[in-house]
Amino acid sequence: MSSEMETESLNDYNWDDIESIPIKEEASSALCRIMYSEEYKQQLGYLRALLTKQEYSARALLLTDSIIDAVPAHYTAWNYRYNIVKNIDRDLERELVWCQEVAYDKPKNYQIWHYRSLIIELVESRGGSVDISNETTISDDMLEEDSKNYHVWAYRKWLVRRYQLFRDNIEDLTTKKMIALDVRNNSAWSHRFFVMLGDFGETRPETASETVEQEIGFAKIMINQCPENPSAWSYLQGIYKLAKKDLLAEKEFCELYAVGAGKSDQRSVESRFSLPATELLARIYEVSQDNSKASSLYSILGSKYDPMRRNYWEMKRQRLDSANSATVS
Amino acid sequence: MQLFREKHVDYVKNLNTKTDQLEYWLTEHLRLNGVYWGLMALFLMDSQDAFVKEEVIEFVLSCRDPKRGGFGPYPKHEAHILSTLSAIQILKLYNSLDRLGSFKPDLVKFIKDLQLPDGSFQGDRFGEVDSRFVYTAIQCLSILEELDENIASGATDFVLRCLNFDGGFGMVPGAESHAAQAFVCLGTLSILGQLDKLTSKKELISSWLSERQVANGGLNGRPEKLPDVCYSWWVLTGMDILGCLDWVDHDKLRQYILSCQDDVTGGISDRPDNQVDVFHTVFGIAGLSLLGFEDLVPVDASYCLPKAVVATIKKFPYEI
């Protein structure tokens, strides 16, 4: 229950004028009836009745609080709440505080983030403004609890886009911090890509190329820490693709961590083996027409290092070999 | 291990008799979706007679929101695109779309009006945008055979914008790649006959999907996340649509899904020894069907309906 529920209860309101609309009679054989279930069923009955009347009131607002508390994904209750807030001149700052409490209380409540963005839009459409740093703090708090909370990250991206926070210092530091805490946190990598390069092509060319070089460097530092991390390799390749740069430049870097690259004798394969490095190296060999090297990498990936996907590696190897024989003949 | 077919049929059949349990009431907002999940599981096991057809159809029609024209998840709830698709899928499964009768024009209008200028769809008037809703709306219109060029091109453009640098798809453009979003985006393109728009990116997408298999054979939704039975559907469908279903290990995945069955109550859970639910039950079974195991009714990856049912839907673009 959110804190408003602690100070205010549905019983504080008079419901005598409301005839709850139940859906159907219960089976009389119900033996293990749960009291809370009765209470919740009654609330659903009230909700149906109030919706039918289209009542916008303080008690209706409280009712939605209670229903959303029980069932965070109750779309009808969310829509209804939004309409009530708009129609009863609800203090929007209080509504944002309510959102925050619901979020902290129920981290898996996904609807709250879209709802919060609607309230912010409402505030701004009425000429008001919100403190962005407060929004950042709230989402930081949430991500501290669950560093991969999809909807909190989506909300964070909404903020970045809406308030043009690309390459913003706080976003930079936050993602760096989160990647440092868990280098395999794909959500943090995804956010960083968005923050750093989400407006690529819209910025000054100098800014773009500076960012590209900086982020290639960052990705490689992180790969050095954990060479088998697919998120960092995706990030690196994503930048090359976006900036249309030639991946050949990373051949030697890949060779540091790939199997069968001729340097494996310089290190312990087990400790440094990286599947993404090997795959990327094979691609680089392929592009530079070094087909026999590429083919042997695909072969060893399918047979030894990644047998669950052997058909994938086999497809790549066969395609290469048939291209090879086509050129020879 | 085998599929506990009879137990699963009983499990689904009994779902609606648990009205004395709190869980039943807490899932009211998903009831129509739940009916579809249950019915679809039964169809895949060729046991659809476990539900009384006329009762189900009556319930579907009672969920119609007369003000909006779409369907809510339960009588007197507001119409939402997710429950609307469930309603249409159920009627299609029962070959009973004609029961929409005079409701159909308003229904089509409800769905089409949810499309925004950028081609995306919101779930309802509330305005939440998610590539899931695009897929849902497109499948609705496809089953109703009411797609048009304008809607299709907008939806295609939006879905393509959800494709990320890593080969996955996100909830909205820029959002983190997630296997469930790959399913809805690829499903949309497949239904609209627009898969060729992916051109050179097909292999990267397929590769991202195949990387979802983890050591125990299960599939996850994002890198470094735990496997979950429902991803058997979200991931496999994308691979099937792109023609690379064999890039993951089928036997290991089958073992994983079967290990999530409850051998006492029936039903399938997300992970071994967890509480079963109808959602994971249907997507576990649908995954097995897609892999060709357990002698199940063949399922269509783009629609999550039996192939025989999908064969009766007019393909877009329509011939004049």
Domain-embedded: residue B273: yes
CA distances from B121 to A122, A157, B81 (A): 21, 19, 9
Domain-embedded: residue B265: yes
SS (H, E, C) B156-188: HHHHHHCECCCCCECCCCCCCCCHHHHHHHHHH
Residues of chain B neighbouring A153 (CB-CB closer than 8 A): 175-176
Total of domains in chain B: 1
Domain-embedded: residue B317: no
Task: Give the pLDDT confidence score for residue A264 in this predicted structure.
Answer: 47
Domain-embedded: residue B121: yes
On average, the pLDDT of chain A sits at 88
- The CATH number given to whatever domain includes residue B140 is 1.50.10.20
Average pLDDT for runs of 10 along chain B of length 320:
96 80 71 95 97 95 96 91 97 98 98 96 86 97 98 98 97 96 98 95 96 97 96 96 97 98 97 95 98 97 98 94
CA contacts within 13 A on the Cβ side of A322: 5
Q: What is the pLDDT of residues B222-266, one digit of tens each?
A: 999 999 999 999 999 999 999 999 999 999 999 999 999 999 999
Residue A31: pLDDT band with limits 50, 70, 90: very low
User: Number of CB pairs < 8 Å for A and B?
Assistant: 137
Domain boundaries, chain A: 1-89, 91-165, 167-245, 258-329
Task: Give the pLDDT confidence score for residue A72 in this predicted structure.
Answer: 85
Contact (CB, 8 A) for B316 and B194: no
Domain-embedded: residue B109: yes
- With an 8 Å Cβ cutoff, are B20 and A51 in contact? no
ipTM for the assembly: 0.91
- With an 8 Å Cβ cutoff, are B225 and A148 in contact? yes
Q: What is the pLDDT of residues A102-115, one digit of tens each?
A: 999 988 888 899 99
Predicted confidence (pLDDT) at residue A150 exceeds the cutoff of 50: yes
Q: Please name the member of B76, B171, B211 whose beta carbon is closest to the beta carbon of A230.
A: B211
Name the closest residue on chain A to residue B31, using Cα atoms.
Answer: A74
Residue to mutate among A234, A274, A305, with most B CBs inside 10 A, is: A234
Task: Give the pLDDT confidence score for residue A32 in this predicted structure.
Answer: 32
The alpha carbon of residue A10 is apart from the nearest alpha carbon of chain B, in Å, by: 19
Q: Which domain holds residue B134?
A: 5-310
| Alpha-carbon span A282 to A262, nearest angstrom | 13
Task: Give the pLDDT confidence score for residue A70 in this predicted structure.
Answer: 86
Domain-embedded: residue B315: no
